[in-house]
Every structure is written in C-alpha cells, then in structure tokens.
Structure 1
Amino acid sequence: MTAESTTSAATAETIRHELLGFLAERIKTTVEPEQDLFSSGLVSSMFAMQLVVHLEEAYDIAIVGPDLKLDSFRTVESMTALVLRLKDADDPAGDA
C-alpha cells in the first residue's frame, strides 16, 4: 500500500524493519524496537561503531558531533529517529 515511498524516501517503518533485520542477523536474536540494546547486554560499545557505519552507508547520512553518542543507538526506535532527523536535515527546505 505504501510501496511508492520505499525507494525514494526511507520511512520510519522501513528503517525500523531494516534495523531489526540487521540486528537479528548480527546478534543472532530478535529484539523489540524499544529494547535497550546496551543494558540488555546484546550490544557492546564496539558494536555501536558497526551500527554507525551501517546507518551511514545504508541511509547516506553522516553521524557526527552530538549525534555520536550511545543514546542515539540505544534502541531501534532511537536509531530510526536519528536517521529520519538526519535525512530530513539533509533535504533542502522547500523541496517538494
């Protein structure tokens, strides 16, 4: 039903789905979108760097400065919000 936007723009749903799949493949377990990946012990700070690289490459964004903190990668929801915010900031205003 919303397939029209999947190629041109990442939606929260598509980002969330992709991240859940990426994590399941890498850590060999399923996670919930709001699950704290660090406090649950599923993800280490070293793996957070892999998440940074993955998000930057998959969504053509640059994660720098204040966005480069563990809280940005704590949950699938926080990563989804980060990607959407950075992609939105990268989009020129008034581009319709």
Structure 2
Amino acid sequence: MSEINTKVQTFLSRFFGNHDLQPDEDIFALGFVNSMFAMQLVLFVEQEFQIAIENEDLEFENFRTINSIVNLIERKTAILAQR
C-alpha cells in the first residue's frame, strides 16, 4: 500500500467508525458522504498533499473510492513535478 493510500484510508476511517473500508468501495453508495464531509475531504487532499483541486476535478468519480482519490492525487502531483 502506498503512502498516499495509507493517508487517505486513515483520514476516511476516522469518519466511518467500525466499517472496514475497502480500496474500491463506493463511499457515496455507502451513505457516508454529505456536502460537509465532501468539503472536508477536498480540504484534506489539498492540505495534506499540497495540491489545488480545481473545479474540473470536483467530479464524483474522483472521490468515489480510496483508489479514485489516490489516482487523482497521483495525477495532480505528477503535473506539479513536471513544472
């Protein structure tokens, strides 16, 4: 498991109680996400990984699972590394 994956899983697990969230499990389908939590998640990603989440990044598919969040972070950090 990558460091990014571990950080995302640790953050999400604080909100999901005893549920053992799997990397491909849909957090929206589970009913864990409301608008306030979605904002917290975006803020966490921006602050923890020093990236900016743009309006075009704010799609459900980018935040639906641990793996999709990790993929978004990896894409954004790769773009930053190229600059």
**Number of matched residues?**
82
- TM-score where L is the length of structure 2: 0.88
Alpha-carbon distance between aligned partners in 1 of 2:35 and 2:22, rounded to the nearest angstrom: 19
2:80: which partner in 1?
90
Query: Is 1:30 aligned with 2:20?
Result: yes
Shift of 1:67: 0.7
Query: Is 1:59 aligned with 2:49?
Result: yes
Alignment of 1:2-41 (within 5 A): 13-28=2-17, 29-41=19-31
Alpha-carbon distance between aligned partners in 2 of 1:52 and 1:75, rounded to the nearest angstrom: 13
Alpha-carbon distance between aligned partners in 2 of 1:39 and 1:77, rounded to the nearest angstrom: 15
Point out 4+ residue stretches in structure 1 off by more than 4 angstroms. none
AA of the residue aligned to 2:12: L
Gaps of 5+ in 1: 1-11
Deviations 1:42-73 (A, max 9, x none): 22233111110000000000000211122211
Contact 1:48 1:70 in 2 (8 A): no
Alpha-carbon distance between aligned partners in 1 of 2:34 and 2:3, rounded to the nearest angstrom: 25
1:72 to 62, 67, 72: 62
Of structures 1 and 2, the one scoring higher in RCO (CA 8 A, sep 6+) is 2
Deviations 1:68-95 (A, max 9, x none): 12221100000000000000001126xx
Alpha-carbon distance between aligned partners in 2 of 1:58 and 1:92, rounded to the nearest angstrom: 20
Identity %: 34
